[in-house]
Amino acid sequence: MTFYRRLPSPHLLLSSFFYHKDSAKPLSLLVAFSSSSSSQDSTIPTLNPASTPLLQNPLPDFSGPTSVDGNSPYGVIFKVCSLISQAYEDGDERLRSVQIDVSREEAVAIVDLLVEKEGSMVALSFFHWAIAHPEFRHFMRFYVTAACSLVGRGNLEKAQVVMRCMVKSFSEVGRLKEAVDMVFEMRNHGLPVCIQIMNWVLRMAVELGNTGYAEQLFDEMPVNGVSPDSCSFKTMICSYSREGRIVDVERLLGVMEDRGFCIDNVTCTLIVDAFCKRGYVNRMLGVFQKICNMGLSPNVINYTALIDGLCKRGSVKQAFQVLEEMVGRGMKPNVYTHTALISGLCKIGWTERAFRLFLKLVRSNSYKPNVHTYTAMIGGYCKESKLSRAEMLLTRMLEQGLVPNTNTYTTLIDGHCKEGNLDRAFELMDTMTREGFLPNICTYNVIINGLCKKGRIDEAYKLLRMGSRQGLQLDKFTYTILITEHCKRGQTTLALELFDQMVQDGCPPDIETYTTLIAASCRQKKMEDSEKLFEKCLELKLVPTKQTYTSMIGGYSRVGKSSSAFRVFEKMIQHGCVADSVTYGALISGFCKESRLEEARALYEGMLDKGLIPCEVTRLTLAFEYCKREKISIAMSVLERLERKHRTRTANILVRKLSSEGKVDIASLFLNKLLDEGCSADRITCVAFISACYANNRYSLASELSEKVSKGKFVSHAKGSTAIT
């Protein structure tokens, strides 16, 4: 059994049809090779002819008849060919409507005969008619026969069209690798693998979400005699951008730059979105400049995408710098550019400046605010609790003939819910329903969150049941809101039941959901439960946040396991998660409870070195623990590095605490130092100290304080600036 040295004549193909149809032999000799023949090796294989029945030639010597019986199978083939030829002459409309009843084997013979007798275009017209029908669309031998016949006519371009159709059709049913293997096998029959077909294959793999296979094909293109062009690179960059693989995007851009390739504006926008969504704003600016240096002339859409990304990350100042560059290049910002800037200004609390920009749009003759612009402005006023202005904008919007959408109503409803105006929130929900905008899950979430904050969780569940009857599907935010509320109430069992239901409903919990449950378990000192949840996070490759780590550290500190808490702290630092003053405070508290003061002090000094301000509890706890051990100089040094305001407040509280414990001598040292430095002791502190002096028969200390006051030392009111002498 050998490969074809030349392509068979149509008579041989017809004889093949009769040989398999009329003989007792099964058609298994001609079935398409299965997907199991697809290689998983590092390179695309060339198929072995002995194991590829599609390309075998088990044909007997046969010559066609001199006359054709119209009722014989052979006559049927010629009748269909004649019908196809006539339909082609009548035009595509006629061909699409033609009714042909042929088997798959007959279709194989027909397409080959049409190529031989009527030419490539007529054959392709039948080919496209056939693959529009399910019985032929995924029949591999039909594609192979059509391609081989076209190659025999020297029409490689049309043969490549057949291969592209095969790749597309088989990718639809999960058989992409099988089709690609056949593309490579066709090299042995005169059809080279060209860059166009490889780009088509890459595109199909990317559209299926199979980036790994696309990578394999892309990397092996030179091995298979094809050099990637700019289209190949753009396809892979688009795939990497959608998956957020920033490093791979930068790598391919570098290769493109070295080869003198340039990307298009659409790909540029995808890259900008990918970088900005993941917070790599500064790197994006550098990449954007590199793209421009490669030869791309950015358009308004590219600049708007960059401005929008910067604004969403809060980098509004940089966004306006990009706007200046855009205008400097002679481009005018459109309504979407302005909307992005307005949204960014509202995000950082500069609502009035956003409103001035909004008014500029209102007065413009070129662009007018659209629904998204109004929604962004309404959101800004809701964020600042200026709901009357937000309502005014809604009215103005309606007067301008703009129809608020679901997002507009949801934004306003959220503002009212956060202010506790649930009655108005429900009114707006009814209004949007009457206007034909069904509330979505986001709308329900903001109202449910508002009800939970008011403690009306039963009403929240009632609302959810009503939404469920209307086909509403709960999302991870819905579950997280309810889980958080149950955790606040100490109802951990109910929270865990909701968590299990969330998983069963196919709604994967995110790190915020896990953090809520971990924090609740830690507050109840159920560290085994929190450890299991934490490990599950890591198994799912969820990235613990600062709140996740801090909850674990606080939990271990509560149960007297400061060493375990410190191990979590070290892991937190190793993973690049920056600890804040709350994290340090929880760990310092744990060390102080176990009398590990030197370690607590080292952490305290470390956080000060990082510019973090210890909370009041942290600085007071550490200083008081040293005072209890009569290490007064160290206790004073704990306060010395604090700003004057924090040092004064901490010293006042420490004096009161020491006085209540009867340690008036130590309290006296801190009080005198406070007054000697020109700081104020508040009235409550002085009263507490003097009372403790009398209670412990230390009248002399009380007299010393009175003497200092008489000499002009100031004692202030606890909540005011007025001083007494």
Would the pLDDT of 447 be above 60?
A: yes
pLDDT at 457: 92
- Angstrom distance (rounded) from CA 67 to CA 65: 5
Is there a domain that residue 472 lies in?
Answer: no
Single-letter amino acid code for the residue at 391: E
Of 207-211, 273-277, 398-402, 538-542, minimum mean pLDDT range: 273-277
pTM: 0.67
Mean pLDDT throughout 679-694?
86
Which percentage of the chain shows pLDDT scores above 90? 42
Contact yes or no for 599/636 (Cβ under 8 A): no
Write the pLDDT tens digit of every residue in 43-57: 333 333 333 444 443
Which percentage of the chain shows pLDDT scores above 70? 85
Is there a domain that residue 172 lies in?
Answer: yes
Contact yes or no for 94/87 (Cβ under 8 A): yes
Is there a domain that residue 136 lies in?
Answer: yes
The position carrying tokens 């939404």 is: 467
Mean pLDDT throughout 99-112?
84
pLDDT at 234: 92
Query: In the structure, what pLDDT confidence band is assigned to residue 715 with cuts at 50, 70 and 90?
Result: low
Write the pLDDT tens digit of every residue in 308-361: 988 988 889 989 999 999 999 899 999 999 999 999 999 999 999 999 999 988
Please report the DSSP string for 641-675 in residue order.
Answer: TS-HHHHHHHHHHHHHHHHHTT-HHHHHHHHHHHH
Query: In the structure, what pLDDT confidence band is assigned to residue 516 with cuts at 50, 70 and 90?
Result: very high
Distance between alpha carbon 323 and the CA centroid of its chain, in Å?
26
> Is pLDDT larger for residue 22 or for residue 289?
289
Query: In the structure, what pLDDT confidence band is assigned to residue 701 with cuts at 50, 70 and 90?
Result: confident
Is there a domain that residue 506 lies in?
Answer: no
> Is pLDDT larger for residue 718 or for residue 390?
390
pLDDT at 72: 52
pLDDT at 47: 37
Q: Which domain holds residue 13?
A: 1-225
Is there a domain that residue 406 lies in?
Answer: no
3-class secondary-structure state, position 130: helix
Mean pLDDT throughout 684-697?
89
Q: Where are the beta strands (DSSP E) in 455-548?
A: none
Mean of all residue pLDDT scores within the chain:
83
pLDDT at 202: 92
pLDDT at 374: 95
3-class secondary-structure state, position 329: coil
Single-letter amino acid code for the residue at 177: K
Cβ neighbours of residue 721 closer than 8 Å, sequence gap 6 or more: none
**Helix 73-90 / helix 104-117 crossing angle, nearest 10 deg:** 60
Query: In the structure, what pLDDT confidence band is assigned to residue 58 with cuts at 50, 70 and 90?
Result: very low
- Angstrom distance (rounded) from CA 554 to CA 362: 52
Would the pLDDT of 604 be above 50?
A: yes
Of 83-92, 332-341, 406-415, minimum mean pLDDT range: 83-92
Write the pLDDT tens digit of every residue in 484-497: 999 998 888 899 89
pLDDT at 111: 87
pLDDT at 117: 83
- Angstrom distance (rounded) from CA 438 to CA 450: 19
pLDDT at 12: 38
Query: In the structure, what pLDDT confidence band is assigned to residue 431 with cuts at 50, 70 and 90?
Result: very high
3-class secondary-structure state, position 105: helix
pLDDT at 341: 94
> ∠ CA(631), CA(636), CA(638), 5° rounding?
100
Last residue of a domain, one of 225, 260, 276: 225
pLDDT at 340: 94
pLDDT at 357: 92
Torsion of CA 207, 173, 186, 5, to 10 degrees: -170
Last residue of a domain, one of 199, 225, 251: 225
Is there a domain that residue 386 lies in?
Answer: no
Would the pLDDT of 168 be above 60?
A: yes
Domain count, the chain: 2
Span between the terminal Cα atoms of the chain, in Å:
115
pLDDT at 405: 92
Mean pLDDT throughout 632-653?
89
Is there a domain that residue 679 lies in?
Answer: yes
Of 57-66, 360-369, 510-519, minimum mean pLDDT range: 57-66
Tokens of 211: 């980036």
Is there a domain that residue 112 lies in?
Answer: yes
DSSP 44: P
Would the pLDDT of 5 be above 60?
A: no
Mean pLDDT throughout 28-41?
32
Would the pLDDT of 61 be above 60?
A: no
Last residue of a domain, one of 165, 193, 225: 225
Which class for 536: exposed (0-12), middle (13-18), buried (19 or more C-beta within 10 A)? middle
Of 59-73, 153-167, 247-261, 622-636, minimum mean pLDDT range: 59-73
